[in-house]
Amino acid sequence: MTAEATVEVRAVRGAEPRRRAGWLIVARKEFADHLASARFIILLLVLGAATLIPLYIAADAIRNVADLVTDNRGAFLLLFLATSTDSPVPNVLTFVSIVAPLLGVAFAFDAINSERSDGTLPRLLSQPIYRDDVINGKFAAGLAVIALVMFAVFAVISGFGIFRLGIIPSADDAIRLLTWYALTVVWVGLWLALGLVLSVAMRRAANAALAGFGIWIAIAIFGRLVVEAIAGALAPISSAASLQEQLDLAGLQNAILRVLPLTLFQEASAVLLRPDKTTVTTPATIDQLEQLGQQLQGQYLPFDQSALLIWPHVVALAAMTALCFAAAYIWFMRQEVRA
Amino acid sequence: MTTATRPSRRRRGGASEGSGTGSSAPIRTRALTKRYGHRIAVDTLDLEVRSGEIFGLLGQNGAGKTTTILMLLGLTEPSGGSSRVVGMDPTRHPLEVKRRVGYLPDSVGFYGNMTGRENLRYTARLNGLRGDDAEAHIDAVLEQVGLTDRADGRTETYSRGMLQRLGIADALIKDPDVLILDEPTASIDPIGVIEILDLLRRLVRERGMTVLLSSHLLDQVQTVCDRVGIFAHGRLIGVGTVAELAATFGDGAAHLEVAFQPHGPDPREALRAVEGVDGVELDADAGTWRITVRPVSASPRVREAIVDAAARGGLRMTSLHELEPSLEDIYRTAVAGMTRGFAVDETIEEASA
C-alpha cells in the first residue's frame, strides 16, 4: 500500500541514526497514560475476576478429570476450556472471545478524536515526527497494554493449575498455550484497529465508543443469526437430500459462517486448545464421515498438525487486523489537521 | 544538513538563516494556493517574512490565515505554488522544517492529566531532547513565560491565558529559528495580552528569532509587529509597516486633533485659514476639533501654523496631536477596495463565460 513511502521514510531516517523513532516516543507516552488510566483498572478487574471465577468454579471438574487423565496430553489446556456442568459461568475461552473485543475497542475508541477535541493534535503533528508515528505508536501502546494483562491472566491460570491442581503442562501444551496467547493478541488487535478506525472517523469519542460496542454486539449476536439465515437460504438442507448433498450444504454453511471473525477465532482456539480435535471443517465426503466415526477416542494431534489445520484461520484473522489498521492509517494520513 | 541535524544546541548568529540557499528570508512563498473543492482558501499568496522581524498576518476569521500557516509547516499540502521555510520546502522536508520552526496552534491544548512540565517533557522527547539537557531547556522556557511556579500543576487546572503561555513555552522547547503563532492573543484578558506581546518582543530581541503571528485583533497586533500583511478572502492585499499601509490604503490625508479651553472664541475660521488644512470638524462629545490635512507630508508645517494661528487669535490651546492611522481603518479601506475588485472580476468572468 505504501511501499514507496516506507522506502522514503527509511531513507530519511537512515540519515540520522541518533534520533529515536517517533512512534516509540508516542507509544511510551500512551503506554504510561494507559497504565494510569481508569480503564486499565477496569480491564484488570474485568479480565482478572471474570477469568478466575469460572476457573474456580470449574476447578473441581478439572480435578476429577485430571485424576483420570494425568498421562493424557491436553489435560493442562482443560484449564482454559473446562466449565462446571451445573453452573452457567462460561469457560475461559468463551470469556476471552467475548470480552477481548470490548477491551480492544475500549483502548482505542478515543485515540485520535480526543487529541483533536483537546486541541493537542496540531501541536503533536508540528513536532518533528511523521504523521504515521502517531497512529502507529497508539496502536502499539494499546496492544502492549492488553497483551501484558492477558499474559498476566494466563500466567495466573497456569499457576493455579500447576500448584492447586497439580497439572504439569507438557512441552506440547506450553507451545499450544503460547500460540493461543499470540492468536488472542491478534484477536484483540483486530478490535483495537477497529477502535482506531472509529476514532479517526468520528469526531466525538462517545459516538466512537457506542459505534464500536454496537458493531461488536451486531457481530456477536445478530451477525451469527444473519449469516446463518444467509447460509440457510443459499444452501437449504432438506431431509429429502442424500447424505452427500447434506454434507456439501453443511460445508457451504460453515464456509459462509467464517466471514465472521468470531467464528475464525473460536474455531482456531478450539483446535489449539484441544489436541483431540482433528478437524475444523465438517466432513466433506461420506468417506471422511466414516473415518471420523472410526477414530479412536484419545487420539491426539501433535502441535504442528493442529497449527497446519488452523493456519488459514490465523492468516485470515491477521489479514482482517491489517486491513482494519490500514483503513485507520490511510484515513488518518489523508485527514485535514484542522477540525 | 549539518545544522539541521542539531536542532537544539545551535546558536543563531546574524541575519542570514535558511541553510544553504543564501536566502535571508526565513519564510517565503510563491503563488501559494490552497483549494478545498471549489472554495479557494489561499489564493496565489506571495509572502516574505524577513529575518528577525515580527510579521503580523491580519485578517478576519476564515480569511485563510490558519491554512497558510499549516502549509508553511507542511501539515497541509498546497494545491499550487511553492514555499520555502528556513530554506526548505515544507511539503517535501516536513521534518527538517518542523525541527526548526516552533508553532503555537489556534486554541492550543495540552494533555489535562499531565502537568505543564510533563507536557513540555513529551514535546522535548519528540524533538530528540532527553535527560538533563531536556530538563534545563524546560526550566528555561518555563521561566521565560513566567510559569515556573505552576509548572507542576495539571494543565486541566490552567486558565486560558496560562495555556497560551505554556503553548509558547512548548513552541520554544526546540529552540526554533522561526516562531509561528496562530492567534496568540485570542481569548485572553487584556493584561495577559500585554504580557504575551512583551514576551514576543523580548524573544525577538534576545534570541534573534523571526516571528510570524496571525490575528484578527488588529489594534493588539499593531503595537508589536514590525510589518503586517493584510489578508482577505485568501489574498494578501497589502504588506508593509502600519505607516506604509496607511499611505497606501488611507485617504491621502493626515488627521490632527486639537483642543482649546472651553468658552473661548470659535476657532473654526482661524483653523480653516491655515494653508494645507482641508477640513475642520468639531467632535461635540469630546469638545475637540478634528483637522484633515492634505497632503500627509504637510502635517508638520500645518501643526506649527496652527500654534501660530491660535496665539494670534487669542485661542488658548490645551492639546494638539496627530492621530495615528488605525490599522482597523486601514483594514476596512483595504478590504472594501478588495471586495470592489472582486465584483469587477466576477463581472468579467461572467461576461467571458
Chain segment A260-289, per-residue pLDDT in tens: 888 888 888 888 887 777 666 655 566 666
Lowest mean pLDDT among A25-29, A124-128, B18-22, B283-287: B18-22
CA distance A20 to chain B (A): 7
B255-278 tens-digit pLDDT: 888 888 887 778 888 888 888 888
* Most confident residue range from A144-153, A268-277, B211-220, B245-254: A144-153
> Which residues of B have a CB under 8 Å from any CB of A?
5, 7, 66-67, 70, 73, 75-76, 95-96, 98-99, 101, 103, 105-113, 122-123, 125-128, 167, 170, 174
Nearest-Cα residue of chain A relative to residue B166: A123
Residues of chain A contacting B7 with CB distance shorter than 8 Å:
128
Residue-wise pLDDT tens digits, B162-172: 899 999 999 99
The alpha carbon of residue B69 and the mean position of all alpha carbons in its chain are separated, in whole angstroms, by 13
CB contact under 8 A, A123 and B108: yes
Q: How far is A329 from chain B (nearest CA, A)?
A: 16
What is the chain B residue with the closest CA to A38? B113
Interface test with A, best of B122, B129, B155, B164 (most A CBs within 10 A): B122
Reduced to 3 states (helix: H, G, I; strand: E, B; else coil), residue B292 is strand
* Edge-to-edge order in the sheet of strand B277-283: B277-283, B288-293, B254-260, B317-322
Report chain A (339 residues): mean pLDDT per 10 consecutive residues: 42 46 91 91 81 73 62 68 63 80 91 92 93 94 92 85 78 86 92 95 92 89 79 70 73 76 86 73 60 58 78 90 94 83
Kindly tell me if the per-residue pLDDT of B195 is higher than 70: yes
Query: Which has more pLDDT, B174 or B340?
Result: B174
pLDDT one-digit tens code per residue, A45-93: 887 777 777 777 777 766 666 565 555 556 677 777 766 555 666 777 8
- Identify the pLDDT of residue A312: 86
Nearest to B172 by CA among B197, B143, B152, B149: B143
User: What is the radius of gyration, based on Cα positions, of chain B?
Assistant: 24
**What's the mean per-residue pLDDT of chain B?**
82
Query: Does the distance separating the beta carbons of A336 and B111 come in below 8 Å?
Result: no
pLDDT at A17: 41
Residues of chain A found within 8 Å of residue B76, distances taken between Cβ atoms:
336-338
Contact B169, B144 (CB under 8 A): yes
Residue B6 has pLDDT above 60, yes or no: no
Query: Is the pLDDT reported for residue B98 higher than 60?
Result: yes
Looking at residue B323, its pLDDT comes to: 79
How far does the CA of residue B124 sit from the closest CA of chain A (Å)?
A: 9
Looking at beta carbons, which residues of chain B come within 8 Å of A26?
A: 126
Q: Is a pLDDT exceeding 80 seen at residue B3?
A: no
Shortest Cα–Cα distance, B158 to chain A (Å):
14
The answer to whether the Cα torsion of B2, B5, B10, B15 is positive or negative is: positive
Q: How do B227-232 and B235-240 pair as beta strands? A: antiparallel
ipTM over the 0.85 cut-off: no
Decide if B95 and A129 are in contact by the 8 Å CB cutoff: yes
Helices (H), chain A: 3-14, 22-36, 38-68, 78-81, 92-106, 113-117, 121-125, 131-164, 171-201, 205-217, 224-234, 243-257, 261-273, 286-294, 303-334
**Contact A83/A58 with Cβ under 8 angstroms?**
yes
What's the confidence (pLDDT) of residue A112? Answer: 93
C-alpha cell recorded at residue A242: 442424500
Is 60 exceeded by the pLDDT of residue B10? no
A129 close contact with B: CB closer than 8 A: yes
- Burial of B262 from C-beta contacts in 10 A (0-12 / 13-18 / 19+): exposed
DSSP state of A222: I
Cα dist. B146→A206, B116, B137, B220, B306 in Å? 36, 12, 14, 21, 48
For an interface test with B, give the residue of A30, A126, A134, A338 to mutate (most B CBs within 10 A): A126
DSSP state at residue B273: T
Q: What is the distance in angstroms between the Cα of A56 and the nearest Cα belonging to chain B?
A: 38
**In contact, B212 and B244? CB cutoff 8 Å:** no
